[in-house]
Structure 1
Amino acid sequence: MSAHILDVEGLRIVELPAEGPLLREAADLLGLAWEHQASMVAVPAARLGDDFFTLSTGIAGELVQKCVNYRVRLTILGDISGHVANSRALKGFVYESNLGNHLWFLEDREALVARLTRRSPSSGAAPTQG
């Protein structure tokens, strides 16, 4: 599975490409994180499929719980407004997740970099890409 590596404020992030098969197994994400010595994985929302955003399926809960258990932070990138508009439970889940540090739902890579640099003391160094 190809991936893009980002280093932001001392945090290594594996970002998956938008193209590719749906992700169903946390082991795939965890393996990528370990392979690249990353503490965060950024996944395009489209790679998760509609079932992920239907909380009653349990897919989101299982994936997120495994990432939390293994201390790998997860960021979902992309527009999920259609899913959120159709589910009060998902809206609450996204809101609460974005308050914490383990799971974020953000628009794109730029929003992720901005959030990480805003939360960390400024080092004066620009994010690097590898």
Structure 2
Amino acid sequence: MADLVTERSGVPVLVCGDEGAPIASTRDALDVIGAAFSRADVVAVPVGRLDERFFALRTGLAGEIMQKFVNYRVRLVVVGDISGHVAASTALRDLVFESNRGSQVWFVADLGELDTRLG
């Protein structure tokens, strides 16, 4: 599936396809934000599109990417199973917990959970 803007629970969402370019830098994040800009309020990125360094918080990549989305006022949703990453990192578990309490960055298991959160 290619990246596609669709309405989910009344909100325009750029749903990124599994086979798209990896998001491994802030430049990659800006490319995705650019694709969403003025067309979608939310970007849903499958876990497989994120570089593994995103989940190793010591690299700073997650913080840099998340900050770009916040700066451009585009919500980021990471979609998929990250249980292995969370089990290996207390810091990541805490980040996911705190992010999911807010409205700017969410981690969800699937698009159905995203729909529920948006509704």
> Are 1:38 and 2:44 counterparts?
no
Deviation at 1:6, TM superposition (A): 2.0
> Are 1:102 and 2:95 counterparts?
no
Separation of aligned partners in 2, 1:61 and 1:93: 10
Deviates more, 1:85-94 or 1:45-54: 45-54
Which residue in the other structure is 2:21 paired with? 21
Highest RCO, 1 vs 2 (Cα 8 Å, sep ≥ 6): 1
Separation of aligned partners in 1, 2:76 and 2:29: 11
Q: Percent identity?
A: 46
Deviates more, 1:106-115 or 1:92-101: 106-115
TM-score, length of structure 2 as denominator length: 0.91
Question: SS where residue 6 of structure 1 aligns?
Answer: strand
Which residue in the other structure is 1:123 paired with? none
Which residue in the other structure is 2:11 paired with? 11
Structure 1, gaps ≥5 residues long: 118-130
TM-score, length of structure 1 as denominator length: 0.84
Deviates more, 1:101-110 or 1:17-26: 17-26
- Higher Rg: 1
How many pairs does the alignment contain?
Answer: 115
Structure 2, gaps ≥5 residues long: none
